[in-house]
Amino acid sequence: MIFVLRISLPDVPGSLGRVASAFGEGGVNILTLDVVDRDDGVAIDEFRVEAPDGMQEALRRAGEEVPGFSVEYVRPLEAFRHVLEPLELAARLADAGADAVANLVEDLPDALGASWAIAFDRAEDPPRTLSASIGAPTLARLPATWLNADRGPWRSEAGLEVASAPLGPDAGLLLGRERGPRFRLAELRHVRLLAQIAAGAALLLPASMRGTPGS
């Protein structure tokens, strides 16, 4: 089994090494590691791991070895399906031309461990859907404030976390994560940069804004 695992642990020297050792002793092979965030003495790390016998023993050992260790999220992946990393998605979007926004909406949920994505044009009344992934709600079901792509993220009472990004003067993107961890600052930066790349490739941005992402 392949899992994506997000953990929090004390941001002190040696903590991550002890977690990695506990995973190895518990039969878990670490495939990739990303540092998602660091906040007030706590590090948020995301692993992609191979765990033939599951995660239970490895997590038990890590909890014993590192006081303050906790699990934010565990998501199983199909073992033979390649999930695009954000950098891979950025390269694909840059060459997608008019299809860039549709490709962004299709691939972004997997790249960032979300449930759905939707791109919309708010210049019309009611706002019009430009592209939506499988499982995305209709715009009419979403709070009107969520269509303001300059704000967010939001969290609903049902545990839905929503990140947003502009796709141009009148267009925006929403990314929903159901029953998962909240979006961290690094993830929100990824959402906005990928949205900017897609909007530039699809010519939704003014020419002066189609340069280097983040400029």
The phi, psi pair for 39, rounded to 5°, reads: -150, 115
| 69 close to 19: Cβ distance less than 8 angstroms | yes
Could you report the per-residue pLDDT of 64-81, keeping only the tens digit for each? 999 999 998 888 876 556
Residue 177 and residue 117 share a domain? yes
Residue 93 and residue 8 share a domain? no
Indicate yes or no: pTM above 0.85: no
Q: Does 35 reside within a domain?
A: yes
Given pLDDT bands bounded at 50, 70 and 90, which one contains residue 53?
confident
Structural domain that includes position 188: 86-209
In whole angstroms, give the CA distance from residue 123 to residue 177: 26
Q: Please identify, among 77, 110, 130, the residue that sits at the C-terminal boundary of a domain.
A: 77
Count of domains for the chain: 2
Residue 99 and residue 42 share a domain? no
The pLDDT score that the predictor gives to residue 79 is 54
Residue 34 and residue 133 share a domain? no
The pLDDT score that the predictor gives to residue 81 is 62
